[in-house]
Amino acid sequence: MTRNQSKSNFIELIRSDLSNTIDAILNHPYLYALEKKEISKAKLEIFVCEEYHIISNDKRNFAITISKASSDVASKLFTDCLDVELNALGNLTIMAEKLIIDKRKIEDYEQLAGCQAYTNYLTRLAVYGSDAEILIALLIDLPLWGSQL
């Protein structure tokens, strides 16, 4: 078995182990209700506020990872991730404006721990983790959440 085959098998094993979780997220009733326009404005406000704090935190996380990247390849990947976060923040701002959510309300919003768990984990990795540890986390996270963009 070649090294690339070993890496590919490792990635597939991780994704397979998480398949039930990934399926639960992609088929969550919230997404179906959103498609049917059955989500209340209050719940959309919660979504916007949570996402604002997640994206803002991830923006800082990727700035940290760029500053300490051990190679040009990792630096480029983390820069691309930062660009995605900046774009997402712009889109979220448009959504907040359409929903008439005051910026002060978003900034003062007290976040729900469960919603912020992954971004806080990414902070730990950004500060203390290696490029490889960060990349493994992104390997799982980005294909799932990136598919929702």
* DSSP 8-state symbol, 112: -
Amino acid at site 101: I
- Which pair of tokens denotes residue 48? 């916007």
Summary mean pLDDT of the chain: 88
pLDDT of residue 94: 97
Does one domain contain both 33 and 44? no
> DSSP string of 124-139?
HHHHH--HHHHHHHHH
How far apart CA 141 and CA 57 sit, in angstroms, is 15
pLDDT of residue 20: 83
Which residue range is the domain that position 16 belongs to? 1-38
**Residue 116, Cα to own-chain centre: how many angstroms?**
10
How far apart CA 37 and CA 32 sit, in angstroms, is 9
Which domain CATH number covers 54? 1.20.910.10
pLDDT of residue 2: 64
**Alpha helical stretches, state H, the chain:** 3-17, 19-26, 29-35, 41-68, 72-98, 103-108, 113-128, 131-146
Does one domain contain both 32 and 53? no
pLDDT of residue 143: 66
Counting as low any pLDDT under 70, the low residues of the chain are 1-8, 143-149
* DSSP 8-state symbol, 116: H
Does one domain contain both 57 and 94? yes
Does one domain contain both 142 and 88? yes
pTM to 2 decimal places: 0.83
